[in-house]
Structure 1
Amino acid sequence: ELLVKNNVQTQSGVTIDKSNFDKYFTINGSANYDKQSGELILTPDSVWQAGSATSKTQIDITKNFSISMSVNLGTKPQSQSGGDGLAIGLYNDTPGKVGFGGNGFGIGGLNQAFGFKLDTVYNNAGNSDVAADPIEFEDLLHKDGAFAGFIKHESNTLTTIDGLSQEISAPDGNYRELTFSYDANTKNISVNYDGKFWSYNVGTTFSSDHISLIISAGTGNFNNQHSVIVHSLDATLDSEPVMVKYMDENQASIAPDKMLIDTLNAPYDVTSNEYKIPITGYVLDDTKLPNNATGTFTNSEQTVTYIYKVDQSTLDVKDSTIYTGDKWKPQDNFVSATDVDGNKVDFSQLTVDDSNVDTSKAGVYDVTYTYDGVSSVAKITVKDKQTAVNVHDSSLYVGDTWKSEDNFDSAFDKDGNKVDFSQLTVDDSKVDTSKAGVYDVTYTYDGVSSVAKVTIKNKMDNGNEFSNENDDQKLSINKSNKNELPETGAEKVPIGITLFGVLSIILSLGIFLGRYKIKNKR
């Protein structure tokens, strides 16, 4: 139990009492601090526990300091499995760090650590972290006893300093008084405990004038409840912290505080981006900046508060797919935008990077839209067009039945999907099936056109086709009852000669037929 009974004004002007002890010390591990009573139990009476109180700020060892407290090591001696003990220590490292538990007393492993332990369990065997206890106390294994002495962490091992330890009373549930003092002039640390005295010079132990404080206890296989009561703490602490807080407009905390600690009267500056942090869903309200963002550390805590308002910024864009040759502009993919206060933002106020887009070439292109630090990316997918219209030429005759679908073969959309004829636009306005000629029929789908030629021919009366150059006149051979030969302009042959020739032909034909019959009879 740690109880700050007396209100003690430290040399840095800070008053420490039970109401603010946890403001200056961090409670770690199994330790439990009761702010109402000021009681701090470092370990409960259980195995393998480790509890401590560590200073949030460092102590200036260019000045004297001392701490006075009562110590209770528990109720059970070693023979009844009581252990391990309690320690107070100093170390040159970040405040709040805690070392090894058990026989490390929370001090082993800390940089340039030095302390004083009240040890209720003798360890006759060490390890790489903690050395064995001094041989002169080996007989404590066989009787109820304890010892106290200085410990030091060096060469990666916590060691009890030889020749300076003394036997002390075994745990019996009673409090005993302890003072731990440092003289800045001589650099001696002196300890008085239960009427006995220890002293050690730490002149070469610490490489810094600012060190951290720890009060700790631990248990292992053996256990006890360990507690202390602090009567006074007199030290020159580093300055009181500057707390940087992050609040919304309703004064609710929206991010962890930042704490700055330095020496008294040192300057501080929390105007950089390290402290003006981004917070998801919020934006810093530049109209409500704190007027104490720069200053000096004092012996009183200071608070710098940054006010954030809800960030109503939006920038919505959409992806799209187009085809090579299509018209496109960045505004096609813009949906909406608002500023931090929720006001609508016009597209003209955005910055757009569309430098990579090439609508003549298939590919996927990123377009970045930016407004007031908010960016969104739209993906523009450019595909090759597969649109096609396939038709064929044809011929027919005047009067034949014809429709435009007769010359259609197939059509496909830009994705290569088959298109029904009904989806095409057809221009067959010039076709006249009652009149010979060659006519163009245009079939169009989604900007792609194909032309089929329809040839219409004339027919002759006997079924043979015939057409003149103009395709608008029919030529026919007229028959009459007279068997006239065409006049050639030559002289006419006398009729007598003509009849003689005809009779000669008939006579020759008769002789030939008569011979043919006689031959067949044979």
Structure 2
Amino acid sequence: MQVTYKLYKAKKIWVTALAATAIFAVAGMQQNVVHADSQTNASQSTNSSQSVTDDNLKVTVDQSNFLQYFKLAGTATYDSSNNLTTLTTDGTGEDGNVTLKTKINANDAFVLHGTINIGTKLDGGGGADGIGIAFHHGPVGAIGYDPGGISVKGLPTSTGFVFDTWVLNNGDHHDVRPQGGSYPYLAGFNSDVDQTYPDDPFRYSGQPYDIEPTKVSGKDVPFTLSYDGNGHMTMSYLDANITIPVTDFKDPLALSIGASTGAFSNLQTVRINDFTFDPAQNNTVSRTVNYVDQNGNKIAPSTVQSAIYRRQGTLVNGQPTYTDWYLASQTGSDQFDQVNAPAISGYNLQSGQTTSYAAETVNQDSGQTEYNIVYNRNTGQSLLNVQDSTIVAGPNAKWQKSDNFLSGYDQNGNQVNVNSNGLTVSGNVDPKTPGDYPVTYSYKDSAGNTITKTATVHVVASQASLSTSNSTLLVNSKWNPADNVSGTDENGNGLNMSNVQVSGTVDTTKPGAYSCYLHLY
């Protein structure tokens, strides 16, 4: 988040000796108790500027804490003695999975080392279906379709890898072995909510890798899954190294690992030796419904519902510790109203699709979903589609005419864009001054007919604010700057504390009064 100016606040941190007056000593002890789960290990801050909180607090999951971070579901079982998760036994109709209990901060790197056993029925031996690993924008604990979907298809904006042992579905990668039978394979994939059937073809990302059955049959084969913090994920398995892009990695990711058998069977297991990642401290939950024509062009403003959740993490005895999640956006923003497809002039709804989405209550574990409702365009008439918009005023705020233009067509069905001949735009917008600014789009087609649409640009004042408070500490206690600051971002939501910088020195080993300065950027 960026605002167009900086807010500076000074505060005093009072450090009192244990032998001071009772009121200070008591206040100090209460401070320690109240904030015991959110204090830093450092006893002194430096003069250099640093964030109030750190979004990049890594944890490592291994055999010692696996069940603290992962949840089992379906037929999955966990043997703590050897750190092995059995997703499916050698039986039919099974579906087992493990899911991470928190979302991952995908703006920092992570790495997972483990083993995969895809079973023994790999070469025309009647085995199914495989193991899928998905990083997605759905709710924590969500699983995709099975059996043919291997627990990954249909998850919102998902990316990951599949070890597919049933290669006979339509559209599956399918290479025949020279000695007969087919290769199981490893492949990167992408999926989304528009994949509504388990046997929809996989959307492969990168080239699938054929697995020689004799190298892996019944074996716990090591793998490494690494992510660079900048939208690139790599699976290393045997002699394969497959790198795929991660969609919308700026938002936190949920993790699921699942397997299924369907009408056939296979013993399928996974072991997580170690998984080092940053648990997310911010999660924007959203549901977006787009209204598009048969060519995918937007024809009306999308319905966007969102809620923002935050928590704060600090190190306690070298381990990340977090406050409870709280709703940082407006009260009631966690209640998503029902969305129904509107009537749009010049268009008719396509049949056979979902046109209504029910009301729902979201929470910090929910995700981001996006849906398209498709309309057919009426032929023989010119059409313009525009939308209103909102800008937060400031010296760096900008507006351009394309911001409010969605799509258009002439009477012959040719597409009209914001720079097409015959399209004129009138109206002035000052993005630095709050107010409502009408912008009119007019198009004259080759038959001489003129159509006009007006959009309103709402320029609003920033709601950014920063407040601080003084506090009293005991000598040798720990100080957490987040305990002394509060405020809102430019949209009035609770602050992401990693966007607040603190500077100044607080030496908790010496009694005295110290001033610190904070600014929001």
TM-score tier, shorter chain, comes to: 0.3 to 0.5
TM-score by length of 2: 0.42
Higher strand fraction: Structure 1 or Structure 2? 2
Higher helix fraction: Structure 1 or Structure 2? 1
Higher relative contact order (CA 8 A, sep 6+): 2
TM-score by length of 1: 0.41
